[in-house]
Each structure stands twice: as C-alpha cells, then as structure tokens.
Structure 1
Amino acid sequence: MHPSRTPRAVTGGLADSLLRVAGRQQRTELRVDLPGDQDWQLCADLLADPAGFDRWRKLLAGWLREQFGDAPERTTAGYVMSWYLHVPAYAGALLLHHERRVPALRPAELAFRLSSDRPHPDGIAVLGDRFYCLPSDPGSALPTATVVPDERALAAILRARYLAHAGRFVRAFAPRSPLGRRMLWAAATDALDNSLWWAGKQGGTAEAEGAGVADAALVLSTRHAPLTAASTLRLVEGRDGHREWTRRRESCCFSYVLPGETECETCPRICPKG
C-alpha cells in the first residue's frame, strides 16, 4: 500500500522542510505527496519488481537511438544506475544542506517521476514523516523526530540511511545489469558526493557552493565501505585562471561508447586519482 497521497499537516514537520527546500532549487520538482496520475514510480515497487528496470532501460534505449543512432547495453545500464541512485541521494542531500534534517530514505517512502522528453527523474516525492535532526531543531520535540547529538552524528545517519537504500538497489539491479557490483557502489558514491555538492552549488554563490563541499567532506570524510571512496571534490584552476571545484567520478556512465562521443572530463578512465 502506498503512503498517504495527501500532504501531511504536522506543523514544523518534514513536509514543511520539503516545501521550503522545494522553493530553493530548480533542478527537480519536490513533492510531499503522490498525485493521482500514474506517472510516479514508488521506489519500493520498482525494487520489488526489478523487471521495471528492464522497461526503463528499453525506454531509454529508444531515446538514445533517436539522439545518437545506437543504445549500447552498458550505456543504458549506466544511465539508469546513476539516475536511480540520484533519487535517495538528492533527497537526503537537500534536506541535510538546507534544513539540517535527514529523512528515513526508505524505498517505501520515496517516489520519482520520469521526464516526458528524456527518461530521467525530474520529480521526487518524499512520503515519510520521520526525520533525524539536531537538538536545536525547532521540531525536535515532535513525535516524528529523532534527535542526534551533533552534525557528525547527523552525517552518519544520512550515510547509513542512504547505504541501506543503495544496498537494496544493488541487490535488485546487479543480476539484470552487465555492470559489476563495484561499479554499482562506485555510482552510489558518485550520487551522494555529487548531490551534497549540488545542494550547495545551486545557491549560486561561492559561499553556498563551499557549504555544499563542506557537507560532502562531513558525510564522506573517508571511505565508508561498500562506498568506494571519500569525497573526491577538489579545487583546480579553470580555463579562465580562476580556481573552481570539480571532482573525479568513481563510476562510468558509458556515454563514450555512443557514436561520436568521448569520455567526460571527470571520467575515471582518463582522470587521474588525487
């Protein structure tokens, strides 16, 4: 059974946080409920019926053939792998960055919608009520809140909740994919590191981006197995001579095997470690 399709009314609860965060970013529609149409996919349903990943990859293959003339199996697997993991990673990163709250990120409490043009998630619904927060949080006394002592503990909660969801994905997707489990966990590492960075970068200032980088360093201060690395964010000199943040990917999207395409600048195939 799906969680409630109507917005929660607990003042100061997680739904209030989501509504505030939704107004501070433009990448993805954020919802606190599921609409009545059939465009939304509950993560728990997809993980329980992994054949849905085959249907997703078939839809993507049609789009890739229209755009590039080919749809290699590794590419469809790589795109779907990264796109799915973006859903729990981005939901968790946004709420940590803007609200210093962490949702449960259970598959039964997350849903997404695929875009009508390119089949990637362009909407995320966070359906659960429970969240983790700091003692200073104004909602810490709510029955849906679990208080942790400090930001390091909150970062550990985000990492643990995300790992639990990502582990479910790896178990469901690995048998239907040409990609190995290390590649899947590398993609899980990328999704979390990227999402923490993007949550700050979308603020549009160097200070906001730096805060996102700091969040990534807090959550991924070292390698936490089965993730494959600590945060790989680093400062480099850009083409205009200014220093800018970048990161080395741990996983490959396999875009380079598409006709006329080459490796991304941050692809682990060509980007040295360190």
Structure 2
Amino acid sequence: MAGLQNRCELRHGLPRSWQRCADLLADPAGFERWRKLLGGWLRERFGEAPLQTTAGYVMSWYLYVPSYAGSLLLHHERRVPSLRPGELAFSLGAGRPHPDGIAVLGKDFYCLPGDPGSGRPEATVVAGERALAAVFRARYLAHAAQFVRAYAPISRLGRRMLWAAATDALDNSLWWAGRQGGDEGAGVVDAALVLDARYKPLTSASTLRLDEGRRWHRRRESCCFSYLLPGESECEECPRIHPR
C-alpha cells in the first residue's frame, strides 16, 4: 500500500478515473470488474489468478481506503472525517490495480477542543483523545459494515474473514500513518488508543508488539490468499501458520 502514503487529499470534485465508495457499494458488480482487472494483472505475473486470491486482495485494498484516510487525519491533525461512503473516493493504479490515491470529499469532521477549526460549522468537538478515538472507530465500523454486506455475497468469503480483514486494515493503517510520518511509536500509540480492546464485530484488539530485535510487528487476523499463487507461500504472520 506504499502508493497511498503521499496521496490522501481533500477534494471537492472528482476526475472520471476516480471511484466513489458509495457508488461501488451500491453496485457490487463493480467489485467483479475490479477483480477481473486484478486477475489479468496476476496472470501476467504468475500465470494464474485464483478466485480466492482476487477476492482477498480486493477485500483488503478496499478496507484500507476508509481506515487509512481516517488514520492519516487522526495522526497528523487529530481530526476524524465522517468516513461515509459518499464522502470517500479512490483511484486505481494504471498498472497494478490497487488504490493509489484517496480523496476525502466531505467537509464535516470531529476534533478536539483546542483545534483551530473547532469553531467552524462543519466541526463537531469531542471531549478528548479517547472520545476522538471512539468516534473514529465508530465511523470506520459503520463504513466497514456496509462493505461486508455488499461484498460477502459476491466474494464467497465468510463474514468472520471480512471482519478480520477490517481489523487488520484499521490496526495496520494506524501503525503506518505514524511510521510513514516519521514517528512509528506514535502510530503504535494511536493503534493502542483506537483498538485498546476487541470491539465486535472486529476480531481483536491491536496486535502490535515488539519482537526480540525491538522491532514492531503485528499478528494478522485475516488471510490474503497469496499462498495460492504459483511459487508463493504463506506470509510471515499468516493466521494459517500462526493460529490464535
């Protein structure tokens, strides 16, 4: 997802090449078209494109749109956008068909009392950082729930798998926002703040931890199904080889 790190922006109009989340959720056939694009890209590189793999990639890529948009704004501005599907959009890379840009279209946001924009009509002020984290979690869960409802029937992935992927996207995005902003520790703290416990239907609290080399890593909750591609094996933190 490195292509996203410099391309989360506020926009008030979209080029045709951008996809509004609400439009995709309202017409799940768009996910099938996305999977066909991905399948072509995978076949060029691996010779095969297993259906589970295309389903898993699109699942994870979509969920990073609301999770990463919210995580970046929380980390850098201590603000949370509404994250409604109608107020988020993304563009796909010209080659590898993954989201390489995210647009926050709405003006409404939640913020802390000391925010310089707290007096603006589109601002909703909350009491403190825990309240802001709770708002982010709730807004993300509302968006993820709409995705699960739309994607489960066409992907044939179980709802537990989809919510595990939603958990991974949120935990990873909070971590990455800090790391890519030059303060990995702050990203870990944000993940612990937002995911201080398991909030159902998410499947765990933050799983970030230090390894023996004093490096941060996390246990995955979901499977991307990359191991089904020729010559590929399970990811280092795959739940298939590291059961809970």
Q: Given the two structures, how large is their TM-score scaled by the length of structure 2?
A: 0.96
Cα distance change on mapping 1:42 and 1:26 into 2, 3 Å: closer
% identical equivalent positions? 74
Q: Secondary structure at the match of 2:103?
A: strand
2:214 alignment partner in structure 1: 243
Contact 1:81 1:187 survives alignment (8 Å): yes
Which structure has the bigger radius of gyration? 1
Is 1:146 aligned to residue 124 of structure 2? Answer: yes
> How big is the shift at 1:37?
3.4
Matching residue's letter, 2:240: R
> How big is the shift at 1:251?
0.3
Matching residue's letter, 1:118: R
Query: What is the RMSD of the two structures over their aligned residues, measured on CA atoms?
Result: 1.3
Contact 1:28 1:124 survives alignment (8 Å): no
1:93 alignment partner in structure 2: 71
Find the aligned partners of 1:271 and 1:197 in 2 and give their Cα distance. Answer: 21
Q: 1:268 aligns with which of 236, 239, 243?
A: 239
Aligned residues: 242
> How big is the shift at 1:30?
2.2
Alignment of 1:1-274 (within 5 A): 27-33=5-11, 37-204=15-182, 208-237=183-212, 242-273=213-244
> How big is the shift at 1:27?
2.3
> How big is the shift at 1:243?
1.0
Find the aligned partners of 2:128 and 2:78 in 1 and give their Cα distance. Answer: 10
Find the aligned partners of 2:232 and 2:67 in 1 and give their Cα distance. Answer: 27
1:22 alignment partner in structure 2: none
Find the aligned partners of 1:268 and 1:133 in 2 and give their Cα distance. Answer: 36
Cα distance change on mapping 1:161 and 1:140 into 2, 3 Å: same
Matching residue's letter, 1:270: I
Contact 1:73 1:178 survives alignment (8 Å): no
Matching residue's letter, 1:236: D
> How big is the shift at 1:29?
1.4
> How big is the shift at 1:270?
1.3
Matching residue's letter, 1:229: S
- CA shift digits 1:126-163 (9 cap, x unpaired): 00000000001111111000000010000000000000
Gaps of 5+ in 2: none
Find the aligned partners of 2:31 and 2:12 in 1 and give their Cα distance. Answer: 21
Matching residue's letter, 1:264: C
Find the aligned partners of 1:199 and 1:165 in 2 and give their Cα distance. Answer: 19
Gaps of 5+ in 1: 1-24
Q: Given the two structures, how large is their TM-score scaled by the length of structure 1?
A: 0.86
Q: Secondary structure at the match of 2:19?
A: strand
Q: Secondary structure at the match of 2:148?
A: helix
Find the aligned partners of 1:119 and 1:34 in 2 and give their Cα distance. Answer: 24
Matching residue's letter, 1:218: L
Contact 1:41 1:112 survives alignment (8 Å): yes
Q: Secondary structure at the match of 1:267?
A: coil
Find the aligned partners of 1:218 and 1:177 in 2 and give their Cα distance. Answer: 32
> How big is the shift at 1:34?
5.8
- CA shift digits 1:156-181 (9 cap, x unpaired): 00000000000000000000012100
